[in-house]
Structure 1
């Protein structure tokens, strides 16, 4: 097995164009597991850890451009105030050692249905920046996931960055797992409020062949909030609204039975997760501290 170590992104793209079969590796938290268990035996690995530009983040017009090599721990520490949903999901990824190594770019590249950051990227309308020697293109997160561990990358492309708008309103993420932050999610859910657009983002994870937007839940809640004037004058949500939102979120899934849980359990858990995460997000939207808990609990 060849181990290729480019020092620039341009060099990495040139290698990928010449040898499209090479497997990129940065944190190695997914790739090394597959190698150790002999689930994959590529002809070459493309080490991206020396490419400084992949480890940088910066404002880009009205968005934040987060390099594919930025580890979870830096998203938590440096971007938690601007990308709270992504930071919440990052906190649930593995152990501290894994969070120091793993990256959102790696999560995207693996395209596992259970990837913790995927529901947040969908709920927040993220754009995935991919590049090759032919140029750069932007792929909406909703179009990036094609199937179990399959993504929209062409053979000669690498993930360069992910673009997200800084949060203008509350975001929430939660997941179910036997040890929560230390295991693959049984199921997960993310919600993001977008009051300036009068809409809601919601997505499920680990409950379908791909991470998936909960479109019916989004449309239902946005309609309820707009019809009742709650964007402008927030007040407690009716329990019936929260429960219906949870039901619609669960209906977006198409789970299976596996060693981590049954399909029926995943649907039930998603309904509960969606109801609770909406409650937390709406409390934050109403205010903070004691005022929040009294007015919008």
Structure 2
């Protein structure tokens, strides 16, 4: 196995172009597990840890650009006020050691349906910046996930950053696991309020071959809030509205039975998660008990 260690992103792209089979590694929290269990034996590893520009974040025109090498702990500590949902999801990832090493870029590259950051990125209208020696392109998060551990990267491309609109509006993330910490999600859910556009974003994780938007739930709640003038004159949401929202979120999922939980349980849990997280987000928005 070759071990490639570039010092710049341009050098990394050139190496990836020359050896498309090279597997990128930064935090190593997913790749090293696969290597240790002999689930993967790539011809080469492309170490990105020396590339300083991947560990930077910036803000322009209301959008936060997070370099692919920025670890979860920095998302929590430095971006929690701008990206509350992403910070919440980052707090649920593994142990402190994992949060110090793992990155949102790595989560995207692995493209596991159970990745904690995926529902937040979908609900928050994120886009993934990918690059090669041929140039750079932005892929909406809704188009990035193609299947179980499959993403829209071309063989010669690397993830450069993720672009997430900053917000002061409420966002929430929640997941169900077999214990309180260091656990792969049985299912997960994120909701993001977009008052400026008078709409709601919602997405599920670990409940389908890919993370996915709950579009029917989004449209239902968006219509309900507009019809009742809730954005301008917010009031506590009716229980029936929250329940219906939860039902539609559950319908967006197509889960399987596995060692972590049954498909029926995942659907039930998503309905409960959606109802609760919507209540928390709306309470934050109204300042009242929702």
Q: Report if the CA contact (8 A) 1:91-1:181 is conserved.
A: no
How far off is 1:61 after superposition? 2.4
Q: Deviations over 1:187-239 (max 9, x none)?
A: 00000000110110000000000000000000000000000000001110000
How far off is 1:153 after superposition? 0.2
What aligned pairs does 1:253-268 form with structure 2 within 5 A after superposition? 253-268=253-268
Task: Give the structure 1 partner of residue 75 of structure 2.
Answer: 75
Give ranges in structure 2 of 5+ residues lacking alignment: none
Q: Deviations over 1:80-132 (max 9, x none)?
A: 01000000000000000000000000000000000000000000000100000
Q: Distance in 1 between matches of 2:212 and 2:193?
A: 17
- Corresponding residue SS for 2:173: strand
Give ranges in structure 1 of 5+ residues lacking alignment: none
Q: Distance in 1 between matches of 2:216 and 2:239?
A: 18
Q: Report if the CA contact (8 A) 2:63-2:165 is conserved.
A: yes
What aligned pairs does 1:174-193 form with structure 2 within 5 A after superposition? 174-193=174-193
Q: Distance in 2 between matches of 1:168 and 1:214?
A: 22
Task: Give the structure 1 partner of residue 115 of structure 2.
Answer: 115
What aligned pairs does 1:61-140 form with structure 2 within 5 A after superposition? 61-140=61-140
* Runs of at least 4 residues off by over 2 Å: none
Q: Distance in 1 between matches of 2:167 and 2:117?
A: 15
How far off is 1:167 after superposition? 1.2
Q: Distance in 1 between matches of 2:58 and 2:113?
A: 28
How far off is 1:181 after superposition? 2.9
Q: Distance in 2 between matches of 1:49 and 1:60?
A: 25
How far off is 1:168 after superposition? 3.2
Q: Deviations over 1:231-261 (max 9, x none)?
A: 0011100000000000000000000000000
In the alignment, structure 1 residue 28 sits paired with structure 2 residue 36? no
